[in-house]
Chains A and B, each alone.
Chain A
């Protein structure tokens, strides 16, 4: 007997629970950070290798596009770090109950927001 199961593939009507949202964003931010590794290597190398390259890095860092990119990557870093610390706590069996898992997910989002706003204000 073939059972007809209800299907709902409309992404706009699927509500992702907050812990699931934090989890998938942990992955997305991790992938983004991996892709950004050459940029960090290049930037660090420019700042420490010579006076000229240091100046070049400064010009580079002051451009609008790079600043916007930095804000995106800062989001990825803050989210990944906060969600990662939450994961370590879960591994230690801290906050496993649904209520706490939801609350800590909200805290990750909140803390990431605060850190990101502070970072953005600081670089502008």
Chain B
């Protein structure tokens, strides 16, 4: 169960994470528009070009922050939905636990993927 008093921070974090994602998406759109991944040769984007485009440190860091904001935002949303529709406390608890574990796994996986890019 979610303890009383956590409602405000969930509400606030949901909006803070939304704002972070919005800033990143605007930045991404601008980057794609002025400095999109360039295809060399046959017009098809190749692996090396795409990977190089993803490699600048500032881009990796901001993408990681975006991904983590997204995962946290999604987790808050899942918590809200389960609280509204799953009335059986044990069922709700279990579903929340599975989603929490999944969220942690996603957060670690994206760190590893970005790290190794």
A residues engaging B (CB < 8 A)? 27, 30-31, 33-34, 37-38, 41, 44-45, 47-51, 54-55, 81, 84-85, 88, 91
B52 to chain A, nearest CB (A): 10
**A37 to B22, Cβ gap below 8 A?**
no
Interfacial chain B residues near A91, Cβ < 8 Å: 15
Query: CB < 8 Å: which of A30, A44, A48, A50 contacts B77?
Result: A30
B19-33 contact mask (Cβ, 8 Å, vs A): 1 or 0: 100100100000000
Report the interface size for chain B: residues with CB under 8 A from the other chain: 23
Q: How many A-B residue pairs have CB under 8 A?
A: 49
**A48 to B106, Cβ gap below 8 A?**
no
B residues engaging A (CB < 8 A)? 15, 18-19, 22, 25, 46-47, 50-51, 54, 71, 74, 77-78, 81, 99, 102, 106, 109-110, 113, 116-117
Q: A41-B113, A88-B15 are in contact. List 7 more A-B contacts (CB 8 A).
A: A31-B78, A34-B74, A47-B47, A48-B113, A54-B46, A54-B50, A55-B47
